[in-house]
Amino acid sequence: MTIDLGGRVALVTGASRGIGRAVAERLAAAGATVGVHYGRSREKAEAVAEAAGNHSRPFGADLEAPGAGQGLFDAALGAYGRVDVVIANAGTFEEAPLDAPLDAWLAAWDRTMAVNLRSVAELGRAAARHARDRRQAGEEGVSVRLVTVSSRAAFRGDDPEYLAYAASKGGVVALTKSLARAGGGLAAFGVAPGFTRTDMAAPFIEANGEAAAARGIALDRLTEAEDVAPTVVFLASGLADHATGTTVDVNAASYVR
Ligand SMILES: NC(=O)c1ccc[n+]([C@@H]2O[C@H](COP(=O)([O-])OP(=O)(O)OC[C@H]3O[C@@H](n4cnc5c(N)ncnc54)[C@H](OP(=O)(O)O)[C@@H]3O)[C@@H](O)[C@H]2O)c1
């Protein structure tokens, strides 16, 4: 079984670092042109795009801003004339203790929901509309594939400091199911990683040690971004279209549902 994405255009959010970067590299290795989205890490995204080749290029957008997800999709569509794959991966993991002042707690809630859920909804809406347009133009079957990146926290929950994070990821799973049910030339999938060694996880490892991070997993090493990326690419490839609506766990059996 080979995955050939030659001629396809993929937009990957949060591709400057971590899981998104690993996904972008895998997509490019399969032949895709990759829109390498970044928020603040422009130089890193430029390097990812250059290494990817295939006319890949970076796209900047702060996904906390209303409309930024739509604007990002429009920028990629304007640059390439088509978007075949959207990987909604960018995310933030912000602590908000129960005893934080309410205004600070609410600000963290709003930032988290904006980046982790609303921007994903904007991208999903844009992907569904693009798929519908292509269907109306005569394309048959699945035109656009969306893969969202949620988290183990969507199913297991998270610590009280991360209520917004877990709630946003639960929303991503429900959003993905709803977009899948709409069909209309769009297939929508999710991937729910467990603890993965990236910048997002680094503070926990630094504070608690590697053994604490690995506690509960059934494999003999921590999950790396490169362990998550192949599942994302497989779902985006067209080989899994009849699994549309599903979210696949990639958590080394640390949470089995
Ligand atoms: N690592 C884990 O243990 C883990 C576990 C479960 C789920 N996940 C999920 O996996 C996804 C990727 O996480 P990761 O571990 O790869 O994280 P990461 O290494 O911290 O990278 C986060 C990415 O998201 C982008 N981003 C964050 N806030 C943004 C904003 N406001 N606007 C635009 N881009 C923004 C960052 O872009 P810039 O650097 O360019 O700003 C970066 O590319 C996230 O959705 C995360 O919730 C991670």
What is the distance in A from the centroid of ligand 1 to the CA of 137?
35
Answer for the pair 105, 96: CB distance below 8 angstroms, yes or no: yes
Q: Which helix (H) or strand (E) holds 125?
A: helix 119-136
Give the pLDDT of the chain (257 residues) as one tens digit per residue: 999 999 999 999 999 999 999 999 999 999 999 999 999 999 999 999 999 999 999 999 999 999 999 999 999 999 999 999 999 999 999 999 999 999 999 999 999 999 999 999 999 999 999 999 999 999 999 999 999 999 999 999 999 999 999 999 999 999 999 999 999 999 999 999 999 999 999 999 999 998 898 889 999 999 999 999 999 999 999 999 999 999 999 999 999 99
Atom number in ligand 1 closest to CA 63: 32
In which order are the strands placed within the sheet that holds 247-250?
Answer: 57-60, 33-38, 9-12, 85-88, 144-149, 186-193, 247-250
Total of domains in the chain: 1
Strand residues in 133-218 grouped as ranges (E):
144-149, 186-193, 196-197
Rounded to two decimals, the pTM is: 0.99
Is residue 100, in this structure, part of any structural domain at all? yes
Identify whether 4 is part of a domain: no
Q: Is residue 178 part of a domain?
A: yes
**Does 80 participate in catalysis according to the annotation?**
no
Whether residue 3 is contained in a domain is answered as: no
Burial 59-89 (b: 16+ CB within 10 A, else e): bbbebbeeebbbbbbebbbeebeebbbbbbb
Residue 187 resides in a domain: yes
Does some domain include residue 14?
A: yes
In a domain, 221, yes or no: yes
Instruction: Indicate the pairing of strand 85-88 with strand 57-60.
Output: unpaired
Q: Is residue 1 part of a domain?
A: no
Q: How many CA atoms does the CB half-sphere of 79 hold within 13 Å?
A: 19
Pocket test for ligand 1, best of 11, 12, 17 (most atoms within 8 A of CB): 17
User: What is the SS3 assignment for 66?
Assistant: coil
Full residue range of the structural domain in which residue 38 is found: 9-250
Ligand 1 binding pocket includes 251 (Cβ within 6 Å): no
Instruction: Name 207's Cβ contacts closer than 8 Å, sequence gap at least 6.
Output: none
Q: Is the CB of 151 under 6 A from ligand 1?
A: yes
Question: Per the structure block, which two tokens stand in for 173?
Answer: 């799973």
Give the residue, by CA position, lying nearest to ligand 1 atom 33: 39
Query: Domain holding 205: CATH number?
Result: 3.40.50.720
Q: Are 163 and 116 in contact (CB under 8 A)?
A: no
The answer, yes or no, to whether any atom of ligand 1 lies below 6 A from the CB of 63, is: yes
Cα 22 to ligand 1 centroid, rounded to whole Å: 12
Q: Ligand 1 within 6 A of 46 CB?
A: no
CA-derived radius of gyration, the chain = 17
